[in-house]
Amino acid sequence: MKEQRVIKVETPYGLVEPVVGKLADREIVFMSRHGRNHVTPPHLVNYRANIWAIRELGVRKVLATAAVGSLSLNFKLGELVLLDQFLDFTKNRPQTFYEGGQKGVLHVDMTEPYCTSVRRGILKASEQIGLPVKNGACYVCTEGPRFETPAEIRMFQSLGADLVGMTSVPEVVLARELGMCYASIGMVTNEAAGIATHPLSHAEVMESMKELGIKVARLVQSTFELCTPDQNCLCASGNREVGKF
Ligand SMILES: [Zn+2]
């Protein structure tokens, strides 16, 4: 990223400080959802402010990354996985910009929660640079910040979940509400409770992230270079029924 700088964006939900810069002669915004130095836990991330801010900056396509735990032998430590569905087990997070009154009410469509067009772009980039990405996984979002119990993991498995994490919801929902494309690459950093043979720790996740972070950065860069800013999918009409406010 060239001409990199931190900027301040005021939103109705609070102040956000994304990093902006240029990549392949186009503008790119980098947002660390946990804040700089990873200080904000998943249940306290200001999702609405983050998503609002990048939309204000003109972003139309969001490429998210997320550390995930694996619930299935099909998804192994160190793999990159494109999410295609989610189960929402969060408990206490604002999930919408549309809170009635003047803002209206929006029941946003979630048939394809993760943009099919951006996902195709990621897969194409992964082929070009020879970095394998598994295509399609059901992500269960938990409230956190604690890890799950083995009983919860068994329940999520029986419901069809493949991966577990704490951040994709409501991020993916809010992006659609503002008409942005959103795709997410899961980085398998640990095995879930009851599958792993040892207690879980944040240190283990961060250690796995080091290597995976470098890989995923290459993939994001190649995808960015391949993608155009125009949206040739249904995401932009996510809020068509009520419009912006
Ligand atoms: Zn899209």
Task: Please write the tens of the pLDDT for every residue from 90-136.
Answer: 999 999 999 998 888 999 999 999 999 999 999 999 999 999 999 99
Whole-number Å distance, alpha carbon 183 to ligand 1 midpoint, is 8
**Residue 245 CA, ligand 1 centroid: distance in Å:** 21
Mean pLDDT of 160-170: 97
What is the structure's pLDDT at 119? 97
DSSP state of 236: G
Average pLDDT in the 171-191 region? 96
The ranges assigned to domains in the chain are 61-237
Confidence tier at 7 by pLDDT (50, 70, 90): very high
pLDDT higher than 90, residue 201: no
Q: What is the pLDDT of residue 2?
A: 87
38 versus 68: the higher-pLDDT residue is 68
The alpha carbon of 117 and the centre of ligand 1 are apart by a number of angstroms equal to: 5
Distance (Å) from CA 200 to ligand 1 centroid: 35
Mean pLDDT of 178-205: 88
Distance 136 CA to ligand 1 centre (A): 16
CATH superfamily of 61-237: Nucleoside phosphorylase domain (3.40.50.1580)
How many Å lie between the centroid of ligand 1 and the Cα of residue 224?
14
What is the band of 166 on the pLDDT scale with cuts at 50, 70, 90?
A: very high
Task: Tally the C-alpha atoms within 13 A of residue 175's C-alpha that lie toward its C-beta.
Answer: 24
Residues 69-79 pLDDT 10s: 999 999 999 99
Q: Alpha-carbon torsion 134, 137, 143, 145, what sign?
A: negative
Say how far apart CA 126 and CA 35 lie, in whole Å: 28
Q: What is the CA(124)–ligand 1 centre distance, in A?
A: 16
CA distance 131 to 28: 22
- 115 C-alpha to ligand 1 centroid (Å): 4
Q: Higher model confidence: residue 209 or residue 16?
A: 16
Q: How far is the CA of 202 from the centre of ligand 1 (A)?
A: 32
The percent of residues above 70 in pLDDT, for the chain, comes to 99
The residues, ordered by sequence, that sit 6+ positions from 108 with a Cβ below 8 Å of its Cβ are: 96, 173, 176, 177, 238, 239
Distance 58 CA to ligand 1 centre (A): 15
Residue 244 confidence (pLDDT) above 70: no
- What distance in angstroms lies between residue 113's CA and the mean position of ligand 1's atoms? 9
Structure confidence at residue 196 as a pLDDT band (50, 70, 90):
confident
Measure 239 CA to ligand 1 centroid, in angstroms. 13
**Cα of 61 from ligand 1 centre, angstroms:** 7
Distance 92 CA to ligand 1 centre (A): 27
Per-residue tokens: 202: 């944040």
- Residue 245 pLDDT: 58
What's the 194 CA to ligand 1 centre distance in angstroms? 36
| Among the listed residues 143, 142, 125, 141, the one whose alpha carbon sits nearest the alpha carbon of residue 133 | 125
- Tell me, what's the pLDDT at 37? 72
Backbone angles phi, psi at 26, to 5 degrees: -120, 155
Does pLDDT of 211 surpass 90?
no
